[in-house]
Amino acid sequence: MSDNKQDASGGESCCSCSLDPSRRVLLAATAGVGAVIGAGVAVPFVTSFIEPSERAKAAGAPVEADLSKIKPGEMITVEWQGKPVWILRRTPEMIAALQKNETALADPASERAEQPEYVKGAGRAIKDEFFVCLGVCTHLGCTPNSKFVLGAESGMGQDWAGGFLCPCHGSQFDLAGRVFKSMPAPTNLKIPKHTYLSDTRLLIGKDSGEA
């Protein structure tokens, strides 16, 4: 059966045109709602495709660390850009021990570009008490082990004043991440940009002058 009907002039008219006014209004309203719903469903998919996820944003964003929970002589690890960042709270004895290594180090004054300008020097830190560095050996990227015990008990020799040992190829670093001479690692451990937000809050990944 045909859905078209002849009008008075003998021509054909579509079914919707022959509907009474109230039904045409209802159809128009229904079609409008369907269009709005369709648009509403499409928007979230477009937004999620364009906007990066929170994980993606965090991958390169600065991270904040709470220093108040680190006891003297302890070290914590914070992840930044997928890499471990060490924060070591050095004791006065640890800081004094840095001077003992000067002649045995490959770059005692940290003159090479493994750190921002503001952390050069023997302690390689903004504040001597807190040492911040990437926990990644500069040889082939292994993670060194902490060797904070002094002397023969450390297994590193009678003169060991504390530091780090890479388990992969034996590179040794002092408590400021400075590499000893004749080691596979070519440079000192790298230090990321960082700044203090307060006495107990450290921001890793941004300099103090950055917006």
- Condensed to tens digits (0 to 9), the pLDDT of residues 141-161 reads 999 999 999 888 888 988 899
pTM for the whole thing? Answer: 0.71
Closest by CA to 127, choosing from 76, 195, 203, 209, is: 195
pLDDT at 52: 40
Spatial separation of the C-alpha atoms in residues 177 and 191, rounded to whole Å: 9
Q: Mark residue 32 as left, alpha or beta (left: phi above 0; alpha: psi -120 to 50; beta: remaining).
A: alpha
Residue among 5, 169, 181, 201 flagged as catalytic: 169
Given the DSSP bridges, would you call strands 12-13 and 194-196 parallel, antiparallel or unpaired? Answer: unpaired
Spatial separation of the C-alpha atoms in residues 129 and 60, rounded to whole Å: 27
Question: pLDDT tens digit string along 65-86?
Answer: 999 999 999 999 999 999 999 9
Which string of b and e fits 35-54 if b means at least 16 CB within 10 Å? Answer: eeeeeeeeeeeeeeeeeeee
* Segment 186-204 mean pLDDT: 96
Closest by CA to 188, choosing from 200, 199, 179, 198, is: 179
Q: How many CB atoms lie within 10 A of CB 67?
A: 17
Residue 65 pairs in a beta bridge with 202
Question: pLDDT tens digit string along 36-62?
Answer: 434 443 333 333 333 444 554 456 799
Q: Mark residue 121 as left, alpha or beta (left: phi above 0; alpha: psi -120 to 50; beta: remaining).
A: left
Reported as a pLDDT band with limits 50, 70 and 90, residue 201 is: very high
Lowest mean pLDDT among 20-34, 142-156, 175-189: 20-34
Q: Is 169 a catalytic site residue?
A: yes
Reported as a pLDDT band with limits 50, 70 and 90, residue 16 is: very low
CATH tag for 58-204 (out of 2.102.10.10, 2.30.30.790, 3.90.1560.10, 3.10.20.30)? 2.102.10.10
Domain boundaries for CATH 2.102.10.10 within the chain = 58-204
Between 59 and 125, residue with greater pLDDT:
125
Spatial separation of the C-alpha atoms in residues 47 and 39, rounded to whole Å: 12
